[in-house]
Structure formats: C-alpha cells, structure tokens
A and B are shown apart, each in its own frame.
Chain A
C-alpha cells in the first residue's frame, strides 16, 4: 500500500516502465541489446533472426511462394530469399578488408617521423661525444691492440703483417 503510494509520487510513466512489486502487471522495459541479434560469423552459421525484419510487399509475396514447392522458384528468387535471411554470403564474410595496408602505412609513417625526432635530438639535445672517439685517439687504441697481439690466431692481429708493418693483403 505504502509502496504504490510512493511509486505514484514518481509519476505515472515511472510505474508503467518500472517493475511493479505487487501483482506483477508491470513489464520490464525491453532494452534493444537484450533482443536476439543478427551477425555474420562462421562459428554461428544460422543467426537467431532474419536479416531483413520488415518485409516489403514484394518480399512478403516471395515468402508466401516459398511455402510451396521450391522447384518453382527461379534463381533470382532464391537469391532474393537468401538476401532476406542473410546479409553476407560466406565468400563475402571471409573476404579480406585490405585494412592491413593502412596499418602498415601508418606504422611506416610513424617510424619515419621518429627518425626526424631522433635527428633533432642528436643535433639539439645531446652534447659532444667523449674525446676517446677522436681519430688520433682511435689510431693509438688500434696500435696498442696490435702491440698486445689481440687474437693473433684467427682474429684481429692475425690480419696484421708484423714484418712489413701493414695489413695483410
């Protein structure tokens, strides 16, 4: 008693759309996403509902004809009936979209953009490299490695001719 009084405060519309706690005359509002849906998927070959829900007059007469013998249907009528029930054929479903081309293009574009950022960084952000990268220093490093006979069998020093003081031909 008190509940219905409280509900009447909300307004008539509220009562008709919300579930009534007593008696059960109220019906819950049906959300569209709760109804059976149509979708094209290989795993679910026969969806719960037909693709075309509101049939035109022509389609209705076709559906009536379908109730008779199917041999009397022409090929075009059979295709029309298929398109009423289904949106895409299996071939259309499985066809690739070519989306990968856009994706690869976007990827490469942003890789190139990153290159610009790296170049800018190299010029404007980083300071000088250490003095050990200078050419004279590197030459001294090389000479010291040869003096120490680094990898004399198959590696570095094996390419140096110690008698003639030059790289082996």
Chain B
C-alpha cells in the first residue's frame, strides 16, 4: 500500500498529458482552423454596401426605411 498514489500517478499522468494534448490538437485542426478559413473566405468577397442596401430594402432597420416608403 506504500507509495500507491505515486505508482498510479507514474502510470496515469503521462497518459493524461498525452491524451489532453491529442484532444487539443484534434480540436484545433478540425474546428478552429476550418472556422478561421471560413471567416476569411466570407469576408474576402464581402461587399458591405450591397448587403446594407439589401437589408434596408427588406425593411428591418428603424433609422432608414426602404426606398419605397
């Protein structure tokens, strides 16, 4: 029973560290990198004024109404 925690730690601690690092790396390369790329691609072709006019015509703004009214 002596040194039971030390023995178990010696076995489990490296596994814990390795697993955590693997999970973090997997998350980074499957989730965050694609997400960053998606945002970059979206804003490369983004025309703010066109989007604004489309939203204005749809009538969602209170300060500027669609051109019809």
Which residues of A line the B interface, CB within 8 A? Answer: 144, 147-149, 152-154, 162
Let me know if B55 and A149 touch, CB within 8 A: yes
Can you name 15 A-B pairs with beta carbons within 8 Å?
Answer: A144-B60, A147-B55, A147-B58, A147-B59, A147-B60, A148-B60, A149-B51, A152-B42, A153-B38, A153-B39, A153-B42, A154-B35, A154-B38, A154-B39, A162-B54
B58 nearest CB neighbor, chain A only: A147
Total inter-chain residue pairs, C-beta < 8 Å: 17
Residues in A whose Cβ lies below 8 Å from that of B54: 162
| Closest B residue, CB atoms, query A146 | B58
Main secondary structure of the interface of B (DSSP, over half): helix
The contact size tier of chain B is 10 to 19
Give chain A residues whose Cβ lies under 8 Å from the Cβ of B35. Answer: 154
The list of the 8 closest CB pairs from A to B, nearest first, reads A147-B58, A153-B42, A147-B60, A148-B60, A153-B39, A154-B38, A153-B38, A147-B55
Determine the chain B residues whose CB is within 8 A of the CB of A162 once the complex forms: 54
Given contacts A147-B59, A149-B55, 6 further A-B contacts (CB under 8 A): A147-B55, A147-B60, A148-B55, A153-B39, A154-B35, A162-B54
- Least CB distance from B36 to A in Å reads 11
Q: A152: nearest residue on chain B (CB-CB)?
A: B42
